[in-house]
Amino acid sequence: MKKKILITGAAGFIGFHLAMRCVREGFEVYGLDKLTDYYGTALKYDRLHAQGINHQVVQEKQLTQSTSFPNYWFVQADLADFEFITSFMETQRFDFVVNLAAQAGVRYSLENPRVYMHSNMNGFLSLLEGCRASAVQHLVFASTSSVYGLNTRMPLHEDDPTEHPITLYAASKKSNELMAHAYSHLFQIPATGLRFFTVYGPWGRPDMALYKFTQAIIADEPITVFNHGNMVRDFTFVDDIIESIIRLLPQVPAPDPTWSGESPRISTSSAPYRIFNIGNSAAVQLNTYIEAIEKALGKKATRINLDIQPGDVPATLADVGALEELVHFKPNTSVDQGVQSFVDWYKWYHQV
């Protein structure tokens, strides 16, 4: 019997890739997305087209079956629409739910804080109530490395403190972790939170550095480089993120018998709840990342170097030992490989 999975944010960057992978794996896949215009809708519509969904025939809150994949359905809806989401989930009775819908962007949260509360808080509450009403077997939800905030000791481990976020985006995702744990404790909903580290790759968002740098270099325009390129990031290729999710789906968390309230760990619980880092475990300087883009394009960038921005942290690096131990996989795509893959896609997509 096919496993039935709901993927929220299915027209987004990571959600698109996961939906396509789950379709190929034989799941009965339901994609949900609000189709917001945060970075424009053209790329989202094109992702839908690749899924066999014509956005022009999509009707809000109505299921549309893919013309390319008989095991894929799409619904346009706001995750914060409490009544619809809870009713939809109770009716459909999903085995797995993967929440990738969120208002993304660290810097955007400085300008438009209210949308983060709507999407990331109210939307996630709807999803939790939907899981509660429909007895979901496993909820997997996206968190972020941004929750580590002011931590400077590397590599970052799931049990490191996360009480000092420096953006509202990070605070909203940490709140998701706390909300999921409360529902896991109260209603025994198995929940796994995934802290993603700087995800990049084909079909990526236009507001992300890789997309903007590639676009500017091709157009002979200067790129704006913050912190003079000295920031360090754990760049993680999207295919490695998807492989990690696929392997974690059947790993339904159970209460940790070794967990103690006397010395509580963040990453596990007496409830069926787990937190994992998903990163490449490689500290790469932004300058090196830019060099990889230049190499893939065969063209040098003209740079405008600026100081670090509010909300940016100097470095991230993931400890993924827990992930590797459980699913026998760790992200391993090199920056050169991943950037070349993105540039190849960019040239195809924009007919460069």
**Which residues does the annotation mark as catalytic?**
169
3-state helix, strand, coil split of the chain in percent (to 5) is 40, 20, 40
Task: Classify 352 as helix, strand or coil.
Answer: coil
> Residue 199 is encoded by which pair of tokens?
């995800």
Q: Distance (Å, rounded) from C-alpha 121 to C-alpha 115?
A: 9
Give 309's DSSP letter.
Answer: P
Give per-residue burial for 208-246: e unless 16+ CB within 10 Å, then b. bbbbebbebbeeeeebebbbebebbbbbbbbbbbbbbbb
Q: Distance (Å, rounded) from C-alpha 288 to C-alpha 275?
A: 30
Q: Distance (Å, rounded) from C-alpha 332 to C-alpha 281?
A: 8
Helices (H), the chain: 13-25, 42-50, 82-92, 108-111, 113-116, 123-134, 168-187, 209-218, 238-248, 286-297, 321-327, 335-349
Nearest partner of 171 among 152, 147, 195, judged by Cα: 147
Q: Distance (Å, rounded) from C-alpha 219 to C-alpha 64?
A: 38
Task: Classify 287 as helix, strand or coil.
Answer: helix
